[in-house]
Chains A and B, each alone.
Chain A
Amino acid sequence: MNSVFDIDNNPLTHVAVNLSENGVWTFTVGVPCVAGMFLAADVPEDAQSTVSARITGSGDPFVDIADTPISLTPHANTITSFDIKIVAGDVPGLARVAIPVRVTFNP
C-alpha cells in the first residue's frame, strides 16, 4: 500500500502543528506519484487556515491544494518531494482542527 513519507523516509500518517494566529509552518514530504492522482487537502470551512504545496527546490509559488489540487501525472512513477506550508488564520481564541492531506484520484 502506498504512503507519503517524511524526510526520514518514515511513512507519514500524523503531523501535529501548534501555531499562533497567522503563524506559518513548512515541512517536506515525499509523495509517490501515480498517473491520474492529485495532491489535495480538505480544509474545514471554519478552520481559517490554508494548506499549500510546491515541489521542493522548484522556486514555484505555493499552490493552495484545497482550492487547486496539484496533478501528480507529470511525475508519475516517481517519489517527488513537496514542501507543504500551513498558514494559520486569524482565530478568535483557540482552534483545533484536523486537516486531511490526500493523494487521490478524486480531489
Chain B
Amino acid sequence: MSIFFPIGDGSDAPASATFEGAGGLVASGRLKRRGAAVVAGVGALVAIGSVSQRARATFAAHGALIATGRQVGHSSAELAGHGTLVAFGHVNAQGNVLGRATFASVSGLIAAGRLLLSSGGGATLTGQGTLTAVASVARADEFGFTIFLDVVNSALELRRGTRYRARLTADGVEVPITSYALRAPRDVIGTSLSLRLARPDPGLISRAASLKFEIGVRQPGADGYEWVTFLDGGRLAGREATIGMAQGRPTDTVQVSAFDMLGDRWTLAPARPRTLYNPALISAEDVGDVPGGLVKDDDDNPVTSFKGFAAPEVITTEAGAPMTPVRVPVDDLSLRSAVHAAYVEGCGFTDVVTNIPDFPVARVDFTPFGGSYDAGIRPLLALYEPLYHAGDDGTLWITDPDELSISALSARQLPLSAVLTVKSTLPARQFVDGLVVSYQLEEGSAEIVIGDRFENETTRSGESETTTRRRIRKYGSPAEPGVVMREATIETTTTVRGADGDIIHRETQADTFDALNRKSGHTRTVESRVPDLENDGEMALLEVIEEKCSISYRPHPTRPRAYVQDSCVTTVRGLIHSDLDNTYRDEPFRVPMTDAHRNGYVDAGANQTSSFGPIKTTTESLRVREDGELDVSVIVIDELANPPTTERSSSTPRVGAIGGDSRRNNVRRVLLLADGVETVTRSVPEISGGELPRDLVLPLARRKLRRLNNPPLEVSIGLPGLDVSIRRGSIVEPHSRSGASGVFIVAAYESVGERLGTADQMITMGLECVKAGGDENE
C-alpha cells in the first residue's frame, strides 16, 4: 500500500496524520509548523518526511525501516525500530540553530548525520547490535601542496673541464680503487656498488669494516675537490679474487661489492607479526589471526602443537615459546598513519613525504616471516606506481609522478651539447578494450537502499494452489544511487489455497542482515486453518506459529579474515491446545494446536482452551575441528513438556569448505572501458584496488587502462661525466634535434668509472627517465 500525504500546507494550524499498517508501507509526509505525524507498522516501512519548525515526526517499525528526515530549526525527529534501520538525517542545516536528532534502534543501524558549526546542536545515536554511524563537522580541511626542492652548489655542477676523483675508505682508511660501478635502480632506495681494488689484496677490506664511497668534483680553476658521498656506513657484501698471468706478468684482481645500509631498510621487519587495525572499521575479533601468525583454539588459547589443526604453521622460538602476534588498534588508521608506522617507526626514516592522497585503511599487516614493513605497505600504493627516493635529512619521498604539475616545476635542462646520447623508447603497448577493477566498499556504511521489487510465483498441486511472493531489496552506492549493486530477498510470503479458494495456510518469513550483509536472523509467522476454540470450534485462519531465529558469527580460528557461524537459536511460539480434563503432573496436557487438530483431539464441547506461548527452542552450535570440518551440536527443548525437557540432542560432523570472508561481501568489481570502446572484444585484465576507496580506485584504474594502451614514454640519457646533482626523483628536460622534448623524472641512474687515477680516466653516467605529469605520449 502506498500513501503520499502532505500535511500542513503552510497554515499555522496544527495538523496530524497517523499511518498504520501490517506489511509493506510507503509513506511520504511533510510537516510544517507544529504538526505531528506518527508512522507505525510491522514489516518493511519506507518513510520520507521533512520536519520544520517545532514539528515532530515519529517513525517506528518492526522489521526493516528506511527513514529520511531533515530537521530545521527547533524541531526533532525520532526514528526507532527493530531490525535494520537506515536513516539519513541532517541536523542544523543552517548555522547557529538549535536542533536535535535521536536515532535509536535494536540491531543494525546505519545513520549518516552532518553537524555544522553551531552552538547547542546535538545528535544522539544509540542502538544494540551493529551500529555504523558517520558524522562529520563541516570545517574546511587543511590543504596545499609540497615543494620538492633540489639545490646544488655551483662547485658541483657538470661543466666542460670538470674533473673527478673516486675515493673508497674502509673504517676511515682510504683503499685505492681502479674502477667502480654505481647503480641506483628503480623502485628501491639504496644503491649497489661494485669496485675493483688497485692492490689485489683480499684482506684489505674486512666484513666488519664500515665503507664510505665518495666522488670528488673539481671545477676548472678550483683549488681542491668538493666531495659528495654516495655510500656511507656500507658493509662488504661480496668479494671475488682472481689470480692470473698474462705475458709473464700477474693479472690478479680483487672485485668487491658493498652493501648499502640505506637500501637494506626495505628488508626491515617487526620482531613478530604485527597488525594495525582501525577499530571503527573492523573489530579485534574480525582481525583474527594475522598472516603467518599464531593458531588459536576455540577458547582463544595459543596452540603450540599441530593437534587437531592442519592450518598455518605455528612458529616458535628454539626454546618453544610461540611467536605471539600483536594486534594494535589505531583510531582513524589511514594510509598516512600506516606509512608512518612502517617507514618512520619501523624503518627509521625521519619522515615520509608524499603527494598521494590519504584514505582510511581497515588493517595493515607486517610480518617478519616472508614479509617486511615495506611489503606490508606496498599493496596500498601499488596502483599509484609511485617513485621512492630519499631526502638528505633522512626523509623518504613517495611520489606519484602523474601528479607532477608541469606548469609549476623547474627542470634541469639537458641540451644536446650537454649529453652523449639520448634514446627515446615507446614501450610495447597492449591493445586492451577494458579493465576490471575490484575494490572494497567501506564496511556497512557505503550502501543505500534503492527500493524493493516483488516476485510472484504460483504453482498448483492437486486441488491446492500455492502462491509465493518475494520482496527483494535493491541496494546501491551513494555515489551511484541509480545503479543496483546487489539484491537480497528480505521477505517471503507463501499462501496455500484449497479447492474452494480459501486460504488454508500462509506463512511469512522476513530475514534480517548485519552490517556485513550476513543473515543475522529471521522472523517467521505461520497462519493455518484450525478450530478456533474461542469461537465454538469454528474453522478459522489463525496464527499458529511465530518463529524467531538469531544467528551469530565468529572469526574462523585458522583462516584470517574468514568467519564461521557460531550459533543459531530459534524460538518457536505458537497456538497451544490445552486439555483441562487430561492432566499430567497436575497440569493440563498441552500440545501445539496444529498437532491437536491433525490428530483429532480438538473438541469445542470439551474442557479445552487455546493460548499462545512458547513451544520449542532449538540451539545449534558449530565448532571448527579442522580446516573445512565442523562439529554441529543441536539441542531442542520441548517447552510444552511438564516440565520443559530435551526433545533432541546430537553432535554431528560436517565436512566441506566452511566459512565466509568477512570482506568478500563488500567487494565490488567494475568494468572500465577504454576511450572510444563501447563493447569488449578482447580479453580483459583484472586488477585489485585493495583498501583504496572507490573515488580513488576508479581514476587510478582508468589511468592504468590508458597506460596499458599507451605506455608512458621512457628516455635513456648518457652524460659525459657524473652530474652529482642528478638523483632519483630529479626532474630533467632532455632535448631532441628539434628542441626540448618534454619533462621527465629520473627513475634510475648508473655511473661507471674506469682507469681511475690515470690520464685515461673515464667517468660516465646514464639516466633512466619516465615521462612526468601524465601527459599523452607522442
A residues at B contact (CB < 8 Å): 1-4, 6-8, 10, 12-21, 23, 25, 27-29, 34, 37, 44, 46-49, 51, 86, 88-89, 91-106
Contact = CB atoms under 8 A, between A and B. Distances in A.
Contacts of A27: 407-409
B662 interface: no
B217 to A, nearest CB: 9
A6 B140 contact: no
Given A15-B148, A46-B393, A101-B146, A20 B409 contact: no
A96 B409 CA distance: 15
Nearest to B396: A98
Give me the 7 closest cross-chain CB pairs, A-B, nearest first.
A14-B355, A13-B355, A102-B144, A98-B353, A27-B408, A99-B147, A88-B151
Contacts of A21: 151-154
10 contacts: A7-B407, A21-B152, A34-B140, A49-B149, A91-B153, A95-B151, A96-B150, A96-B151, A96-B727, A101-B146
B143 A93 contact: no
B725 A97 contact: no
B156 A17 contact: no
Contact of B157 (A20, A103, A104): A20
Contacts of B745: 16
A102 B404 CA distance: 17
A6 B407 CA distance: 7
A13 B407 CA distance: 12
A57 B745 CA distance: 32
A98 B149 contact: yes
B142 interface: yes
Nearest to B413: A18
A18 B410 contact: yes
B588 interface: no
Given A1-B141, A14-B403, 14 more contacts: A6-B407, A7-B407, A12-B405, A15-B145, A15-B404, A16-B148, A16-B404, A20-B154, A91-B151, A96-B729, A97-B149, A101-B144, A101-B147, A103-B144
Question: Could you say which of B141, B151, B228, B731 has the most chain A C-beta atoms within 10 Å of its C-beta?
Answer: B151
B397 interface: yes
Interface in B93-126: none
Question: Could you say which of B147, B725, B772 has the most chain A C-beta atoms within 10 Å of its C-beta?
Answer: B147
B391 interface: yes
B150 A18 contact: yes
Contacts of A104: 142, 144
A91 B453 CA distance: 71
Question: Could you say which of A2, A18, A97 has the most chain B C-beta atoms within 10 Å of its C-beta?
Answer: A18
Given A20-B152, A20-B154, A94-B151, A14 B228 contact: no
A102 B727 contact: no
A93 B393 CA distance: 14
A94 B407 contact: no
A46 B530 CA distance: 90
B282 interface: no
Nearest to A102: B144
Contacts of A13: 145-146, 355, 357, 400, 403, 405
Given A4-B144, A13-B145, A18-B730, A29 B408 contact: yes
Interface of B: 139-154, 156-157, 226-228, 353, 355, 357, 390-393, 395, 397, 399-400, 403-412, 724-725, 727, 729-731, 745, 772
Contacts of B392: 94-97
Contacts of A7: 407-408
Contact of A94 (B144, B145, B150): B150
Contacts of B412: 18
A6 B405 contact: yes
A23 B404 contact: no
Nearest to B390: A96
A107 B228 CA distance: 36
Question: Could you say which of B393, B411, B745 has the most chain A C-beta atoms within 10 Å of its C-beta?
Answer: B393
B740 to A, nearest CB: 15
Nearest to A27: B408
A20 B141 CA distance: 35
Question: Could you say which of B154, B404, B405, B772 has the most chain A C-beta atoms within 10 Å of its C-beta?
Answer: B405
A6 B403 CA distance: 11
B301 to A, nearest CB: 47
Nearest to A9: B407
Contact of B724 (A29, A44, A94, A99): A94
A49 B146 contact: no
Contacts of B393: 44, 46, 97
Contact of A25 (B139, B156, B410): B410
A14 B405 CA distance: 6
Contacts of A34: 140
Nearest to A40: B144
A30 B142 CA distance: 15
B410 A19 contact: yes
B615 to A, nearest CB: 57
Contacts of A37: 140
B149 A10 contact: no
B355 A94 contact: no
Question: Could you say which of B144, B153, B406 has the most chain A C-beta atoms within 10 Å of its C-beta?
Answer: B144
A91 B405 CA distance: 26
A12 B357 CA distance: 12
A73 to B, nearest CB: 13
B358 to A, nearest CB: 10
A20 B154 CA distance: 6
A2 B143 contact: yes
Contacts of B148: 14-17, 96, 98
A1 B144 CA distance: 11
Contacts of A89: 151
Nearest to A46: B393
Contacts of A28: 408
Contacts of A12: 145, 405, 408
